[in-house]
Amino acid sequence: MIENLDPKRAWDVLQQNPNAVLVDVRTKAEHTEIGHPIGAIHIAWQAQFGSPVNPDFMTEVGKVAPDKNTPILLLCRSGQRSLSAAKALEQIGYSTLINIINGFEGDPDSNQQRGNINGWQFCGLPWQQN
């Protein structure tokens, strides 16, 4: 089953469970240039927007979480790619999956700008930029 949590509740899960793994599924450019949660493991779901799914995604997740009962929290820009990734992991037997709704940047505001309404950054959770 996939649970959808907002960033603050996801952060609580990470703090309460040292075995939980936070996977940033955004592109390398997003992860590097926009920023990423501190402690997140970057495994891109797609190389870039609109490209096919990363054929190594499942293998790479399996390397960081070989136990399929490990809680895996997935994050993207807004919560859509991370949900797709969670569904794929569920199909191969992962049992504790959490999609972080609103993602890292959050939903666009009335000016179509992200980071002003919700999301990891907006909530003031730990993040860094390369």
Give tens-digit pLDDT for 88-113. Answer: 999 999 999 999 999 999 999 999 99
Q: Is residue 96 packed enough to be buried (19+ CB in 10 Å), middle (13-18) or exposed (0-12)?
A: buried
Give tens-digit pLDDT for 22-37. Answer: 999 999 999 999 999 9
Give tens-digit pLDDT for 48-103. Answer: 888 999 999 999 999 999 999 999 999 999 889 999 999 999 999 999 999 999 99
Helix (H) or strand (E) holding 57: helix 57-64
The CA-based angle 60-65-11, given to 5 degrees, is: 105
Euclidean distance between CA atoms 51 and 81, whole angstroms = 12
| Beta strand extents in 15-105 (DSSP E only) | 21-24, 36-37, 41-42, 72-75, 97-100
Q: What domains can be seen in the chain, in order of their start residue?
A: 2-125 (3.40.250.10)
